[in-house]
Structure 1
Amino acid sequence: MILDKKFYERETVTVAKQLIGKTLTRKFRGKKLSGIITETEAYRGKDDLASHAATKMTERNKVMFGPVGKSYVYFTYGMYFMLNVVAKSKRQNAGAVLIRGIFPQEGIKTMITNRGVKDLSKITNGPAKITMAMNISMKENNVDMTKNSTIYISDGIPIKKIKKSPRVGISKAVEKEWNFSINPKNYF
């Protein structure tokens, strides 16, 4: 079952943790590409200095301030796209969860071709690797992921233990342990 708006209309950190084990699906050229989410990071609004939404709404981050369940895709380092899903409680002004890792399930041959990597454990073990493998670009920004769209998240597998740690590659709000992950070797 595709996750509905109620799932995303909760505290961003809670949603980030509960997305672990869910299935990310991308429909691309008549094929389904999917994987189990293995790593996420929460980014809130004005109370999170590491967030794109920490200071004000801009053309780039405006999706974070909008309806929950929408995809927030942005371009970084002049070469990579990053996929997030908007998640926030009614009390939060903005929030999104970065999808940092998945373990491929469907469309693996296409993902291998898109990435040029054959090692299953290295095809989608980073946020830019996911978008390359699944051919996600700015065209997928602001897509309603609560519907059977070109990209969505649905139920997945039960997860027993989720590791929490500081977020990766940030210089502000480094003390917040809002990175959630599992070791794929324990499940696949």
Structure 2
Amino acid sequence: MKRCEPLPRSFYDRNPVVVAKDLLGKLLVRETDEGITAGFIVETEAYLAHDDPANHAYRGKTNRNKSMFGPPGHAYVYRLHQVCCLNAVTEPEGVPSAVLIRALMPTKGVALMRKRLGRDDPLPATGPGKLCRAMAIDLRLDSWDLTKGEWLWIAMPEELIPVTDEDIAVTTRIGVTAAKELPLRFYLRQPPFCDFVSHRRRG
């Protein structure tokens, strides 16, 4: 796979809803000693800095969520039910908003993803927890700078995937107990990308 350059910090320094939509079709790349795994981002969720009680930073800054208050373009990785979830921090430093990466359409390293999962899974990067296991993303990558272009980054793919508003499905978020009515989940509705979206609550 030709090395793709990381998205610039200015890409992330925007409203999380805009970033969540614009991340669809971009390439998430993970580089380890085992090899490179990568995939097109096909599903995201936005978490707002204000009036969003589902946001981990809703009640203020803690040791767990401090990465959300950092510069845009950094990773916010947290643990939930023994698995990790990957977010891209958005908006200016001090404004705690982020985009959760929920699913990928794998493009490289599928065998390695399945090895990490311990099974021959046809959808090895569908769902945020499974995605992180398949891509070897854990708490050590919390606050990682996604714009550095090493170990973990998001890139513009070599062959651009044109994405219009008509290509994006909008639904409520999955698994949240607050602000459940907010339409802040986005995914690519066209095939083959839609085949890799979380199966729950397709819109």
TM-score, normalised relative to structure 1: 0.92
Residues in 2 aligned to 1:48 and 1:124: alpha-carbon distance in whole angstroms: 27
Partner in structure 2 of residue 103 of structure 1:
105
Q: Secondary structure at the match of 2:191?
A: helix
Partner in structure 2 of residue 18 of structure 1:
22
Instruction: Check whether the contact 2:71–2:92 (CA below 8 A) recurs between aligned residues.
Output: no
Counterpart of 2:85, as a letter, is: M
Residues in 2 aligned to 1:66 and 1:155: alpha-carbon distance in whole angstroms: 23
Shift of 1:47: 2.0
- 1:85 matches 2:88: yes
Residues in 2 aligned to 1:108 and 1:184: alpha-carbon distance in whole angstroms: 22
Instruction: Check whether the contact 1:3–1:153 (CA below 8 A) recurs between aligned residues.
Output: yes
* Aligned-residue RMSD, C-alpha: 1.7
**Inter-CA distance 184–106: structure 2 relative to 1 (3 Å threshold):** farther
Using the aligned pairs only, state the percent identity. 37
- 1:54 matches 2:58: yes
State the aligned residue count: 185
Q: Secondary structure at the match of 2:54?
A: coil
- 1:174 matches 2:177: no
Partner in structure 2 of residue 129 of structure 1:
130
Counterpart of 2:65, as a letter, is: N
Provide structure 1 residue ranges, at least 5 long, that are not aligned to the other structure.
Answer: none
Provide structure 2 residue ranges, at least 5 long, that are not aligned to the other structure.
Answer: 196-203
Q: What does the per-residue CA deviation read over 1:61-120, in whole Å, with 9 as the maximum and x for residues that have no partner?
A: 01101100001000112x110001101257x72111100000111111101111133243
Residues in 1 aligned to 2:65 and 2:190: alpha-carbon distance in whole angstroms: 31
Q: Secondary structure at the match of 1:16?
A: helix
